[in-house]
Structure 1
Amino acid sequence: MDSSSTNAALPIKIQNLDEFYVVYDLDMVATGSYNLAFEFWVTIDSMSSETGITTEVMIWMDNNLIGPAGNIIGTVTLMVSIIIFTKLIGIHGLISHLYQLNPNTAVYWEFHHFVDHLVSQGMLNPDEYFADFELGNEVVYGMGQTDIQQYEIYVNSIPLNVASPETIPGHYNLSNNYPNPFNPVTTINFSIPTSELVSVHVYDVKVLN
């Protein structure tokens, strides 16, 4: 299956990356076991879909009760101090977890310096491609809320289109599930007209919780 990009700057071969800036500002309140991370995915060529992923680079900005898996293989200090973790996982091959020592929820990164470091250490292949970027939380258990005030990525001075915080809808809405509930996994989208924590209960056909 062919893949396509939502931005003309991506995918980009790593060796052609001269500038890479990440700017974000967010507010997070959370309890339980969670992290907050920025990450990017590397693919073997410019046309690969998720099956062509070779490397995931994840930068943990905050966490509680959980930490990056793998063994510490080095520390580098650029704009912030970072501990580098690594592990092997399935078909995705080498996955590098990077953990920021001093979490900061308002950041401006000249990230190309760190990419250069990963290339020099043999952790990134300069002939492979940056394909996708993500920012968000992983939650094992607990509750919380993250409000993104600003999230911008610039590749070679070209701003990438990233998702803006969604406008809170003016009414309640519960969509039909997809695919049908006889599949191992199904999705049900919903929206509420206020910004608040919600509790979701799932019942079977006998109305058992």
Structure 2
Amino acid sequence: MLRELRVVDLSCRNERRQVRRLAEGAAPNPGELVSPAAEKTAAEKAHLGALRTQRRAGYVFEPRVLAEGAAAGGQVAVLEWVLDELRLRDEPGALTPAMFTAAAKTGNVECMRWLVAHGCGLQGAEGAWAAAVESGCEAAVELLAELGCPRPAGGEPYLAAVQERYWHLPPLLSRLGVPAGPHGQLVSTVQIQQGRRLAAIKALERKLATHKPADLAEVTRRTAHSLRIGS
């Protein structure tokens, strides 16, 4: 048992070392097996030099792992390399809604557009709305509507806006036709997670329930002011 624990510990340390080296742009040692976590990190940080060096040395990467990392980092150049050099384009459904959601979280609209243009489906990508909200990028949120990304029914993007304190986004979400979710959800979320004054949040939720997006900008401004987190 002790020996097994030592092997696991050595494996974890080796993986952390690989992640660190690739994050610094350094290629792995010749013949060294690269962990999926290290591959993903290199792609996420756009260390193409290290990836190309290892590729020329004969290392066989897992294209989907690299694509996932590249999407999570909003790295279009890496995605193009994986699609062309590693022939990911030959695999049906290789670009997934999960990759699109990861790209939305970066707020990188170029990467989001690239994924869709290269065959990434959006069916099942409802989580991209909350992810884009978490990025704080209005352009990313607007792009979701433009691309026809399915809108979530549970109000998750609004919860993300409240949790991240991005008060400029609820009016935009409402204008784009994103459902606010069950009445009382925002209030309970703030009550549980924030522990702050709720009157302003209640006013915001009432406006969401009455579908008056034109009034939401003023309501959210007051909400931010009441919670003392900026206007």
Q: TM-score over 0.5 for the alignment? A: no
Larger proportion of helix: 2
TM-score (norm 1): 0.26
Larger proportion of strand: 1
TM-score (norm 2): 0.24
Q: RCO greater where, 1 or 2, for CA within 8 Å and sep 6 or more? A: 1
